[in-house]
């Protein structure tokens, strides 16, 4: 391989990694708290918070330092809800439709 081919390959790989990182950050919100995990409430508590707010929950997962809740509103519209895992305050709502 020539130096030019290696340089082009390295640039393509770097570009792909940057694109992947920007797509990941554009898709979700990952920064909800700086508190240690031992202070977090449970995923079930996050599900209950969304249900109390009127959503039907399909999935809850940890995303960065947030609870990411996949849910639908009463009209059936899909949302991603991002909760602070310490106090279960809704930090961000993202329309999934």
Q: In this predicted model, what pLDDT tens digit does every residue of 23-67 receive, in sequence order?
A: 344 456 789 999 999 999 999 999 999 999 999 999 999 999 999
- Report the pLDDT value the prediction gives residue 26, as an integer from 0 to 100: 45
Of 87, 86, 84, 90, the closest CA to residue 51 belongs to 90
Give the containing element (helix H, strand E) for 60.
strand 56-63
Domain count, the chain: 2
Domain match, 47 and 68 both: yes
Domain match, 23 and 70 both: no
Domain match, 70 and 89 both: yes
First and final CA of the chain: distance in angstroms?
A: 46
Is it the case that residue 94 has pLDDT exceeding 70? yes
Is it the case that residue 22 has pLDDT exceeding 90? no
pTM over 0.85: no
Q: What's the rounded Cα separation, in Å, for the pair 61 and 17?
A: 24
What is the CA 8 to chain-centroid distance, rounded? 33
Q: What's the rounded Cα separation, in Å, for the pair 96 and 76?
A: 11
């Amino acid at each position: 391989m020539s130096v030019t081919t290696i340089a082009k390959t390295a640039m393509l790989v770097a570009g792909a990694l940057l694109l992947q990182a920007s797509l990941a950050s554009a898709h979700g919100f990952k920064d909800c708290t700086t508190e240690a995990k031992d202070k977090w409430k449970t995923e079930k508590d996050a599900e209950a918070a969304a249900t109390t707010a009127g959503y039907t929950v399909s999935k809850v997962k940890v995303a960065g330092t947030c609870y990411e809740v996949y849910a639908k509103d009463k009209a059936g519209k899909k949302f991603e809800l991002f909760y602070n895992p310490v106090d279960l305050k809704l930090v961000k709502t993202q329309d999934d439709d």
